Amino acid sequence: MYRHTTKRILALATLVFTLVPSASFAASLKYSAWLPFWKKGEGARDFALRMEKFASISPFSYEVNANGTLKDSLRIENGSWDGWLDAVKDGGVKVIPTIALLDGDAVHTLLSNKTRRIKHEDIIAKLVKDNNFDGIDIDYEDKWAKTREYFNTFIYGLSIRLKPMGKTLTCTVESRMPLADRFKNPPKTMEYANDYKTLNKYCDEIRIMAYDQQAVDITLNAKKGNGGLYMPVADPDWVEKVIKETIKMVPAKKIMLGIPSYGYEYEVSWNDGIATYKRLRSRTFMQAMAHADNLGLQPFRTSWGELAIVYASSTPIDVSKNLTYGLASLVAPKGLFQAPAVTRFLTISDAKAMEDKVKLAKKYGLKGVVFFKMDGDIDPAVWNLLK
């Protein structure tokens, strides 16, 4: 079987390798990853080299049109992926593509229309059946609380279509944290868009996006951001809070912890007790390391475990208010450069930072972890840690 698998992958990716079952793969923690359409070739090759370590892979993504039909952004159905998909399945890895809709208004408009919602459910079920996928991953983000019951009905509708076919329904949702760490004056009740009780009932697997933390945790901001640079992709202290909140409603063995493999670059300034972070761009691990080399800088380990560099730039950049974060800081963060120069701060999730989250998944007995994203630029050292 493995010789047949290798031939298929060679034909697609022109790679020379031998699939060797990993002794550590029998461990209870399961590994998965999202493979993004914008770097599908690089991600597919990266995955092919080490797929024996994984339980599933989620090509990312199908997108949703306004009428509920699907757009194949990966072009996974044009025939060029057939050899790769067959090889992955022959290797015992489940193929669970992601359907993404990242606009809350669009989600509500689609799912609140009964006719379109039912048609949408039928389209998804047909997609899974026709392509013999092992299941589907639903990643509908930025939903409103008013959409909750419509989304619940949608997930139920998918469940009753997929379960008789023996297919897996995976639900990817935003992270949830203690209200006291999110608000200065926590509300007595909170209306959530994701109903964990219902999702637990109908989703076979729940993936928690425990990343893009940034300035959301006011407790950690006050503790670590006063006098120091602090704008994490995912601080393990925050991730642990997210896990604790989630397992209150969802059994640990159903949870896949989302782990970032990327980072962000910021412009940082300080004035009158406020440190302002402007998010300029995302960075992959390889991009960040190349940038550090070009600047002649040695990345340092942050207090929350990610790698980072700090440098001066002569070019300030304007960004949207939605990409600007302010942290109270009575003392100016260390390492800031004086005008006319501006300070750039780049923090990245490398193998060590990812390992910290894997350890948390093991600590709490979660089903596994899922990396965002498998794009050929992930820190290659992480593969030796998947045990």
Residue 282: what pLDDT? 97
Q: In the structure, what pLDDT confidence band is assigned to residue 55 with cuts at 50, 70 and 90?
A: very high
Q: Which CATH number fits domain 2-261+350-385: 3.40.50.1820, 3.40.1010.10, 1.10.630.10, 3.20.20.80?
A: 3.20.20.80
Q: Across residues 343-368, what is the average pLDDT? A: 98
Least confident of 107-111, 115-119, 172-176, 383-387: 383-387
Of all residues in the chain, the percent with pLDDT exceeding 70 is 93
Chain region(s) in the chain for CATH 3.20.20.80: 2-261+350-385
Residue 137: what are its φ and ψ, rounded to 5°? -110, 120
User: 346: which 2 tokens?
Assistant: 């780049």
Q: Which residues contact 371 (CB under 8 A, 6 or more apart)?
A: 31, 32, 33, 34, 258, 259, 260, 261, 354, 378, 382
Give yes or no for residue 354 having a pLDDT over 70: yes
CB-facing half-sphere around the CA of 307: CA atoms within 13 A: 24
Residue 286: what pLDDT? 97
Q: Across residues 343-369, what is the average pLDDT? A: 98
Q: What is the pTM of this model?
A: 0.91
Give yes or no for residue 215 having a pLDDT over 50: yes
Residue 79: what pLDDT? 85
Give yes or no for residue 15 having a pLDDT over 60: no
Q: Across residues 113-134, what is the average pLDDT? A: 97
Cα–Cα distance for residue pair 28/53, rounded to 1 Å? 12
Q: Across residues 249-277, what is the average pLDDT? A: 97
Q: 313 near 341, Cβ under 8 Å?
A: yes
Residue 110: what pLDDT? 98
Q: In the structure, what pLDDT confidence band is assigned to residue 2 with cuts at 50, 70 and 90?
A: very low
Q: Across residues 377-385, what is the average pLDDT? A: 93
Q: Across residues 350-358, what is the average pLDDT? A: 98
Cα–Cα distance for residue pair 52/40, rounded to 1 Å? 19
Q: Across residues 367-382, what is the average pLDDT? A: 96
Please report the sign of the dihedral spanned by the C-alpha atoms of residue 175, residue 159, residue 248, residue 193. positive
Give yes or no for residue 107 having a pLDDT over 60: yes
Q: Nearest Cα to 33, choosing from 19, 49, 22?
A: 49
- The angle subtended at Cα 128 by Cα 124 and Cα 134, nearest 5°, is 135
Residue 340: what pLDDT? 86
Q: Nearest Cα to 60, choosing from 3, 141, 114?
A: 141
Count of residues in the chain: 387
Q: Where are the alpha helices (DSSP H) in 331-371?
A: 351-363
CA end-to-end distance (rounded Å), the chain? 24
Q: 152 near 186, Cβ under 8 Å?
A: no
Give yes or no for residue 3 having a pLDDT over 60: no
